[in-house]
């Protein structure tokens, strides 16, 4: 940043283009904000000439006493305005470093509006960490769980970080499933374009209707098989050609209950259908009983459901 542009800004004679350039430069890093504050202090200090210096100058340029006092008052006001501005920048800098942690317990869902206007739905057993203000050209959040996002459009990339892979977008609609306690990672794109990458910068790009998932330590891309997976945001569990064992995991997370299968032969049976979360886990199991030959019993004391093949 050229000092002459900064001083034009301090003097109030900068063009709109220069003002926008300075504002953008300030937002780029904390070092830039510190330099801006330091130069502003220097600029204001030059205005606070002591009375003797002003008197000497006034003899040379024949300033009146009224004009001398006016200069001193104006300088004081500028310093006050500058201090208030510096305090505001300091407060903003503190806000940039503050983060908010949200946890959605099992059996619940939540909807949030992020600082940039992004809307995010959080599923059961999900943790989200995000800054109170996005700054320095970064929009980053930390996710442990499942989320559906409608990202606000911006020139700044929006990054969802997980313990497995990261997802980068500019403005789009997509879902992410990445529970730290589970080996599964999956992200599906509904609108726009996204980049999925890991810490080694290995990456894939998705187009609408595609899903990226992890298998054997690497990323794979396939066409989306279930466009209704995100419908948990509407209170529905939608499954398309899922194994019984996968459905049971969804029930455990959604209804905050442990389900034990005593017969492994059930685990690979597949199912298509929808369940209303509001109806509860037992209603969902009764629906499955129409297709699967199993019985179950629920132990209220330890909150466990035991499933076995029907005899």
- CA 92 from chain centre, in angstroms, equals 18
Residue 59: what pLDDT? 46
Q: Which CATH class is domain 99-223?
A: mainly beta
- CA 152 from chain centre, in angstroms, equals 11
Most confident of 13-17, 66-70, 228-232: 228-232
Residue 218: what pLDDT? 81
pLDDT digit string (tens) for 252-290? 888 888 999 887 778 788 888 899 888 889 999 999 888
Enter the pTM of the model. 0.63
Burial profile 168-190: b = 16 or more Cβ within 10 angstroms, e = fewer: bbbbbbbbbbbbeeeeebbbbbb
Please determine, for residue 189, whether its predicted confidence score (pLDDT) is greater than 80.
yes
Secondary structure in 3-state letters for 267-302:
CCCEEEEEEEHHHCHHHHHHHHHCCCCEEEEEECCC
C-alpha 142/C-alpha 43 separation (Å) is: 41
In angstroms, the Cα distances linking 119 to 149, 158, 178, 185 are 6, 12, 18, 21
Closest of 217, 151, 146 to residue 187, by C-alpha: 146
pLDDT digit string (tens) for 285-310? 999 888 888 888 888 888 899 988 87
pLDDT digit string (tens) for 195-244? 998 877 678 899 999 999 888 778 889 888 777 778 888 888 888 888 88
Q: Which CATH class is domain 235-309?
A: alpha beta
Looking only at the bridges linking them, the beta strands covering 210-215 and 99-104 are unpaired
**Structure confidence at residue 160 as a pLDDT band (50, 70, 90):** very high
Half-sphere exposure of 210 (CA within 13 A, CB side): 15
Closest of 84, 83, 159, 181 to residue 114, by C-alpha: 159
What average pLDDT does the chain have?
78
* 63: three-class secondary structure by DSSP: coil
C-alpha 177/C-alpha 182 separation (Å) is: 10
- Out of 10-24, 62-76, 100-114, least confident range: 62-76
C-alpha 81/C-alpha 70 separation (Å) is: 16
């Amino acid at each position: 940043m050229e000092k002459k542009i900064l001083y034009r800004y301090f003097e109030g004679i900068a063009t709109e283009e220069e003002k926008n350039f300075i504002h953008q430069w300030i937002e780029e890093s904390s070092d830039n904000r510190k330099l801006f504050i330091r130069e502003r202090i220097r600029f204001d200090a030059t205005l606070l000439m002591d009375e003797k210096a002003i008197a000497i100058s006034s003899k040379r340029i024949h300033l009146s006493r009224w004009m001398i006092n006016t200069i001193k008052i104006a300088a004081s006001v500028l310093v006050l305005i500058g201090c208030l501005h510096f305090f505001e920048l300091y407060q903003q800098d503190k806000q940039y470093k503050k983060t908010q942690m949200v946890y959605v317990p099992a059996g619940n869902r939540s909807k949030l509006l992020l600082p940039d206007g992004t809307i995010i739905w959080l599923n059961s057993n999900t943790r989200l960490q995000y800054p109170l203000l996005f700054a320095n050209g970064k929009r980053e959040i930390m996710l442990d769980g499942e989320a559906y996002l409608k990202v606000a459009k911006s020139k700044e990339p929006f990054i969802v970080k997980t313990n497995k892979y990261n997802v980068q977008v500019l403005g789009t609609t997509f879902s992410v499933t990445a529970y730290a306690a589970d080996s599964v990672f999956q992200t599906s794109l509904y609108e726009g374009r996204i980049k999925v990458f890991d810490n080694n910068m290995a990456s894939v790009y998705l187009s609408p209707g595609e899903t990226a998932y992890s298998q054997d330590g690497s990323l794979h891309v396939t066409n989306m098989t279930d466009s209704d997976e995100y419908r948990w945001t509407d209170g529905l569990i939608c499954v398309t050609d899922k194994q019984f064992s996968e459905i049971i995991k969804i029930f455990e997370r959604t209804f905050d209950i442990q389900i034990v299968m005593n017969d492994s032969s059930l685990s690979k049976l597949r199912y298509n259908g929808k369940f209303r979360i509001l109806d509860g886990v037992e209603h969902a199991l009764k629906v499955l009983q129409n297709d699967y030959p199993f019985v179950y019993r629920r132990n209220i004391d330890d909150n466990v459901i035991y499933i076995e093949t029907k005899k």
